[in-house]
Amino acid sequence: MHTISRTGTVALAVIAALVLLGGTCGVSTYNKLVRLDQTAQAQWAQVENAYQRRADLIPNLVETVKGAAAFEKSTITAVTEARSHVGQVQLPKDVTTNPDAFKQYQQAQDQLGGALSRLLVVSEAYPNLTATQNFRDLQAQLEGTENRIAVERMRYNDAARAFDTARATFPTSVIAGLFGHRFAEKQYFTAKAGSNEPPKVNF
């Protein structure tokens, strides 16, 4: 009788220990996913900040360039329209896990970046414009911002990759699966098609 009682007590203790261990592991895994998700979200905010800085610089650049005699209006219009399009893109809260919204955002930003590049290339044909201090300052700020955008996109991709790697490994994948959309796969920035080719400009 005592043997059966002792065996039952040991079995219950083992079960309780396993449940406790499983719960502890589950909580630890959940917290790890939360930390990685927060890191990716914080880095995404840095990407948005860098893009916003570029958008804020464009009106001053456009106004400066408009002063150049006979400057190509179509180039200025392309930049203005691209900036307007970026502002019209409505980002859902889950943009980093929403493939369609993420792709739309990247395409709008790439279009604006391409229009800006053409504007700066065409500007080189106007020595009076490129000689002004205001234009040179804006050009330097834009170049610095473009570099910052590239860095922040790379850091976001790294943070998203760390999250997705953890999310896909066992047993973390089980916890991620239990919480569904809360830990959905992150999207990545990709290089624009043809970005390795210099823009063609005809004067």
What's the CA gap between 99 and 105, in Å, rounded?
A: 10
- Count of domains for the chain: 1
What's the CA gap between 180 and 164, in Å, rounded?
A: 14
pLDDT (0 to 100) of residue 20:
57
Q: Which residue has the tokens 């790379």?
A: 154
What's the CA gap between 65 and 147, in Å, rounded?
A: 22
In a domain, 147, yes or no: yes
* In the predicted structure, residue 23 carries a pLDDT above the cut 70: no
In a domain, 129, yes or no: yes
In a domain, 4, yes or no: no
**pLDDT tens across 35-54, in order?**
999 999 999 999 999 999 99
Bond prior to 171 in cis (omega within 30° of 0)? yes
* Interhelix angle 133-168/2-66, nearest 10 degrees: 160
H or E element at residue 2 = helix 2-66
* Pair 161, 188: CB distance under 8 Å: yes
In a domain, 177, yes or no: yes
Question: 71: domain CATH number?
Answer: 1.20.1440.20
Q: Across 6-10, 54-58, 117-121, 173-177, which has the greatest mean pLDDT?
A: 54-58
pLDDT (0 to 100) of residue 27:
81
Q: Provide the phi-psi class of 87: left if phi over 0, else alpha when psi is between -120 and 50, else beta.
A: alpha
* In the predicted structure, residue 196 carries a pLDDT above the cut 70: no
The candidate with the shortest Cα–Cα distance to 159, out of 56, 71, 46, 19, is: 46
Q: Which domain holds residue 77?
A: 40-183
pLDDT (0 to 100) of residue 199:
44
In a domain, 199, yes or no: no
Mean pLDDT, rounded, of the chain: 84
In a domain, 88, yes or no: yes
In a domain, 9, yes or no: no
In a domain, 158, yes or no: yes
**pLDDT tens across 153-186, in order?**
999 999 999 999 999 998 888 888 888 788 999 9
pLDDT (0 to 100) of residue 9:
72
